Chains A and B, each alone.
Chain A
Amino acid sequence: MAKKNLGRISFFENKLSEKNSFCGSVVSNSYGSKLPYKTRSLCPECTRVLPATVYAKKGKVFISRKCPLHGVFDEIYWESASEFERARKFAHKSRGIGTSNVSVTKNSGTNCPFDCGLCTNHQNHTALANMVLTNRCDLSCWYCFFYAKDGDPIYEPTIEQIDKMFLNLKAQKPVATNAIQFTGGEPTLRKDLIQIIKLAKKRGFEHIQLNTHGINFALNPKLAKDVAKAGVSTIYMSFDGVTAKSNPKNHYEIPRALDACRAAKLAVVLVPTVIKGVNDGELGEIINFALNNFDVVRGVNFQPVSFVGRMPKSLRNKERITIPRAEKLIEEQTKGIIKQNYFFTVPCVSSVTNFVEAITGSNQYSLSTHYGCGAASYLFFDGEKVIPLPEFFDVVSFFDFLNKSAQRIKSYKLYNFKSTRIIESAKLLIELTKCVDSKKVPKGIDLVKMLVDVLVKHDYSSLGKFSDKTLFIGMMHFMDSYNYDQQRVERCQIHYAMPDGRIIPFCAFNVIPQIYRDKVQKAYALPWEEWSKLNSDKSPGLKYKRNVDKFENEEIYKKTYLEKNNF
Chain B
Amino acid sequence: MKQTIFKKGLKGFAQKKYPFEEVKIVSFSYTNTLTKEETAFLQYQLLLNQGVLQAHLEYSTKQGILVGLITTDFSSELKKLGLEVKFNLVEWMTYKEFVEKNSR
A: residues with CB less than 8 A from B are 22-23, 46-51, 99-107, 110-111, 114-115, 158, 160-161, 164, 167-168, 171, 499-502, 514-515, 519, 522-524, 526-527, 530, 533-534
Contacts and interface: CB of A to CB of B under 8 A. Distances in A.
B13 A110 contact: no
B53 interface: yes
B48 A515 contact: yes
B104 A115 contact: no
Contacts of A522: 50
A105 B55 contact: yes
A261 B15 CA distance: 33
Contacts of B99: 164, 499-501
A114 B101 contact: no
Contacts of A99: 104
Kindly list the 6 A-B residue pairs having the minimum CB-CB distance in the complex, ordered from nearest: A501-B102, A501-B103, A107-B56, A105-B56, A111-B40, A515-B47
Given A22-B37, A48-B41, A167-B103, 6 more contacts: A49-B41, A104-B102, A110-B36, A502-B102, A514-B48, A533-B10
Contacts of B41: 46, 48-49
Interface string B54-95: 111111100001010000000000000000000000000000
B10 to A, nearest CB: 6
A393 B11 CA distance: 62
Nearest to A164: B103
B104 to A, nearest CB: 5
A106 B65 contact: yes
A104 B27 CA distance: 11
Given A106-B65, A515-B48, A534-B14, A168 B103 contact: yes
A106 B59 CA distance: 14
A105 B16 CA distance: 25
- Interface class of chain B by DSSP: mixed
Contacts of B59: 23, 110-111
A104 B37 contact: no
A515 B44 contact: yes
A242 to B, nearest CB: 42
Nearest to B17: A160
A104 B104 contact: no
Nearest to A160: B17
B44 A114 contact: yes
A189 to B, nearest CB: 16
A501 B104 CA distance: 8
B16 A158 contact: yes
Contacts of B20: 523
Contacts of B103: 101, 164, 167-168, 171, 501
A527 B104 CA distance: 30
Contacts of B60: 110
Interface string B20-33: 10000100000000
A15 to B, nearest CB: 15
A25 to B, nearest CB: 12
Contacts of A51: 37
Contact of B67 (A47, A105, A110, A524): A105
Contacts of A23: 36, 59
B44 A47 contact: yes
Contacts of A499: 99
B85 to A, nearest CB: 16
A104 B48 contact: no
B6 A115 contact: no
Given A101-B102, A101-B104, A158-B16, A534 B10 contact: yes
B58 A110 contact: yes
B68 to A, nearest CB: 11
